[in-house]
Structures are given as C-alpha cells and as structure tokens.
Amino acid sequence: MKEFYKKLSDILEIDNIEDSDTLRDFEYWDSLTVLSILAMLDSELLISLTVEELDECITAKDLYLMVEGKR
C-alpha cells in the first residue's frame, strides 16, 4: 500500500496520502491526472483500469482496493 500511495502522491504532487483522502478534492485532480494514474497503473503495475472504473473510486483506499482486486 505504501508504494502505491507513494506513486499516487508523486502524480498528485503532494507529500502523502491517507486512506480517507477524497481523490477529487486534491488541487491537481483533473483529466490529465486521471490519464497519468491510468498510465502509471498500466506501465508500472500492469493493471488496466478504465476511466469509468477510476471514477467509481471516491477515496484513495477505494482506488487501492480496486487495483488490488485486479491483481
């Protein structure tokens, strides 16, 4: 989980992420961020998510659990 949150925080340009953080509340959350997250998941974790699946994730933990479910 720590490694995943580190990658996510790098994309969002923040220091750290908590389980309960709402993704859309981050200052840099936009369509480019969504594409960057999807690209990171695909290239680094070999996990493919759709934009719709990512939109279903409200919190950082939701996204983490979705990614883990695809492993």
Architecture, CATH, for domain 2-70: Orthogonal Bundle (1.10)
Q: Alpha carbon of 22 to those of 44, 45, 46, 70, 71: distances in Å?
A: 23, 22, 24, 21, 23
pLDDT tens-digit map of 4-45: 999 999 999 999 999 999 999 999 899 999 999 999 999 999
Length of the chain measured in residues: 71
pTM for the model stands at 0.91
CA 10 to chain centre: 10
